[in-house]
Amino acid sequence: MDAPRYTVITPSRGNRPRALALAIDSVRAAADSAGVSVEILVGFDGVRGERVRDYPFLRYVDFPRVGYFGNYIRDAFINVAKGTRLLFVDDDNAVTPDAFAIWERHLDAELVIGRIDVSRAFPDVGVLPRPGDPEPSAIIRPGNVDPLCLCLSADLVFRAGGWRDQGGYESDFVNIHRYQRRADSIEIIDDLVGVYDAGAGLDAGGMNPRQQQRRAT
C-alpha cells in the first residue's frame, strides 16, 4: 500500500467519544472530497479510550499519562507518521469540508498557516490567526495561532526536532515558533481550514474548564 499523503495526529483525553467521532468523521469526509489519502493516529492520554470508529486508515494507541497538553503523544506519533504532510486535530476540533482541497494547493510550502473558526470558544475573536498581519513574525505569537491552523512538511517537523514538551501552557506556540524559524518556505492563507471546539458540549463529562464556563453563560 502506498504511503498516505497526510498524517493527522489527534491527542485525546479519552472522555470525549462523541467529539472524537466528529473530529475523525470530519477528516474522512474532507479527505474523500479532495481524493487524498490520509492516516489518522489517535492517542489516548493515560486511559484506554473508546474506539469510536473502525476505519483501515485509523490507528488508536493507549499511552501512559506522561507530560502535559498532548505533547508526548504528538511527538511519539511524529516519529511513526507515514504521511509527507502533518496535521494536528485535537479530539474536540474538526477540519472544514474542503480543508484537504485547500492544503493540496500549497504543497510547495513547508509550513502553511490557514484560518480557523474559533467563534464557539471566543466569539469576540471569530477567527485565528487574526486578519491583518501579513508576516509570519507577526502572526505567530501567543494566542494568535493554534496547531489546527497548520499543515506541515514532515521533513520540516523532523528537522525542527519533533514536538517538544516545553513551554507549559504555551507549548503550542513554542513548537510552532520553532517550526517558523526552521522553515525554508511559509505561506499564510485566508482559507478556513478548521473549526475550534467543534465538538464542545457533545460529551458532558469531557469539557475543559473554559468550555464549562462558556456553556454556563
CA dist 111 → 4, 15, 95, 136, 178 (Å): 18, 31, 17, 10, 11
Contact 23, 148 (CB under 8 A): no
Tallying the residues shown for the chain, one arrives at: 217
Average pLDDT, whole number, for the chain? Answer: 93
Is pLDDT at 113 greater than 90 in this prediction?
Answer: yes
- In whole angstroms, give the CA distance from residue 78 to residue 4: 14
Q: Tell me what pLDDT residue 167 has.
A: 87
Q: Which helix (H) or strand (E) holds 40?
A: strand 38-45
pLDDT tens string 160-211: 999 999 988 899 999 999 999 999 999 999 999 999 999 999 998 765 655 6
Arithmetic mean of pLDDT, 95-99: 98
Contact 85, 7 (CB under 8 A): yes
CATH assignment of 6-216? 3.90.550.10
pLDDT tens string 31-74: 999 999 999 999 999 999 999 999 999 999 999 998 777 999 99
Arithmetic mean of pLDDT, 67-86: 94
Arithmetic mean of pLDDT, 143-152: 97
Q: How confident is the model at residue 214 (pLDDT cuts 50, 70, 90)?
A: low
DSSP secondary structure code for residue 50 in this structure: -
Closest CA to 136 of 85, 169, 184: 184
Bridge-based pairing of strands 150-153 and 85-88 is antiparallel
Contact 159, 65 (CB under 8 A): no
Which residues are CB-neighbours of 91 under 8 A, at least 6 positions away? 10, 11, 12, 13, 16, 19, 20, 23, 42, 199
- In whole angstroms, give the CA distance from residue 150 to residue 155: 14
Arithmetic mean of pLDDT, 117-127: 95
Q: Tell me what pLDDT residue 1 has.
A: 54
DSSP secondary structure code for residue 7 in this structure: E
**Look-up: residue for cell 508576516?**
135
Is pLDDT at 81 greater than 90 in this prediction?
Answer: yes
Is pLDDT at 76 greater than 90 in this prediction?
Answer: yes
Q: Tell me what pLDDT residue 132 has.
A: 81
Q: What distance lies between CA 153 and its chain's CA centroid?
A: 14
- In whole angstroms, give the CA distance from residue 164 to residue 169: 13
Q: What distance lies between CA 77 and its chain's CA centroid?
A: 13
Arithmetic mean of pLDDT, 15-24: 97
Domain ranges of the chain: 6-216
